[in-house]
Amino acid sequence: MAVVGTCVALYDRPKVYRFRRGEAASLESCLVETDRMTSVYPIAGPVELQLTRQGRTKRGDFRYTSCGFYQLAGLLGPGLGRFLPDLAGMNPRQAVNCVDGEQAIRIFNDLIDLRLSLFEQYRLVRNESLRVIEGLVGSRHRFLENLTMLRLAHDALPQTCEFYGGALVGRRLALWFRSREPLFVIDSPAWPMYFGYYFSNAEATGVSVRGSLALYTREGVCIAPYRRFGFRVTHAGRDFDARLGQLFGEVYNEPPLAEIREGVLKAKATRLGFTEHDSDRDRRSRVRRLVHSLAQLGISQGVGTDIVHEALYMGRHPDPVLTPSYPKQFPSRTLFDLFVAMLRVGQRLDLDRQERVGQAAFDALTGRLIV
């Protein structure tokens, strides 16, 4: 007979700060304060990592953030980042008799004793004020403060652009810069499109410094492929500073205006393949094909389904009269409606998935999506 265990939260969600246009100074102040509270702490023994029954480290009484926990669990062994929280009862859909938080902590602590040597070359990134462990950095990791990243990006920014937004999720920083004037205006009512840039950095191992050209609309942002329009810099190597300087030189270029305009016009003229005579079965089949096409661009099935439904029922100009059971508009929906839906749904996602959807949206606009 299964024993009903206790639920234990093994980690907390990271603190999230968001900044809008005109709030660059507030973001800088936040990063200065975060930098002041940061320590990069050596791992002196297993008690620096192991947890008490309350889910706090045995030494220091720290909590893990989800980012810090997943990074550490990934080093301990494949799949632990999903298994241990599930065993601890952090999955709200899990059956009660399958939960044992104390067992999850015992397994976690035993594995740290067994595999402590895996962490010899790592240090903990801690927020001493919030008492949280936010990640690990290796001995060869070139630590780039988010504050430095902001200042470097801003100092190299073209005169035609301005700070448009920023997000700090734990130790992950995202920056958006946008042109002051639109590239062009389409549609009626007016739908301006701006060019700009996107940058990301993380003060922990596992995420490269990266930046790319971006396209801004009133529904969201799409990000150009790093290989073609951007640059990535791994946090390692003696030439790290030189490659970091190269990043801004590669990214801050003029946008491919003709290609973007051509992509917009073609997307507006490309129907999604529905007709007035489709049966329910035909529509469902077409939806599945569109979701599959989005999957080829790296979008999960669940998010892809949300995007297709958003495009069909809402379109680029949402009509409050239409309801989800009203398919009259389906035959008129175009690839541009799908593009806008990608941006709209992306705004509701976490930073990683938002970036992935944003890049897929740029691919869709430039001909890589087969509808």
Chain segment 352-362, per-residue pLDDT in tens: 899 999 999 99
Phi and psi at residue 16, in whole multiples of 5°? Answer: -120, 130
| Whether the Cβ atoms of residue 97 and residue 40 lie closer than 8 Å to each other | no
Q: How far apart are CA 290 and CA 286, in angstroms?
A: 6
The residue-averaged pLDDT of 199-214 equals: 87
Is pLDDT above 50 for 2? no
| Whether the Cβ atoms of residue 40 and residue 51 lie closer than 8 Å to each other | no
Is pLDDT above 90 for 189? no
pLDDT the model gives residue 74: 94
Q: pTM surpassing 0.85?
A: yes
Mean pLDDT of all residues belonging to the chain:
90
| Whether the Cβ atoms of residue 346 and residue 220 lie closer than 8 Å to each other | yes
pLDDT the model gives residue 250: 86
Domain locations in the chain?
38-138, 146-255, 260-365
Q: How far apart are CA 51 and CA 371, in angstroms?
A: 50
DSSP label at 277?
A: T
Distance of CA 225 to the CA centre of its chain: 15
**Residues across the chain:** 371
Give percent of the chain above pLDDT 70.
Answer: 95
pLDDT the model gives residue 3: 43
- Least confident range from 198-202, 214-218, 244-248, 302-306: namely 244-248
Band of the pLDDT at 208, cuts 50, 70, 90?
confident
pLDDT the model gives residue 276: 87
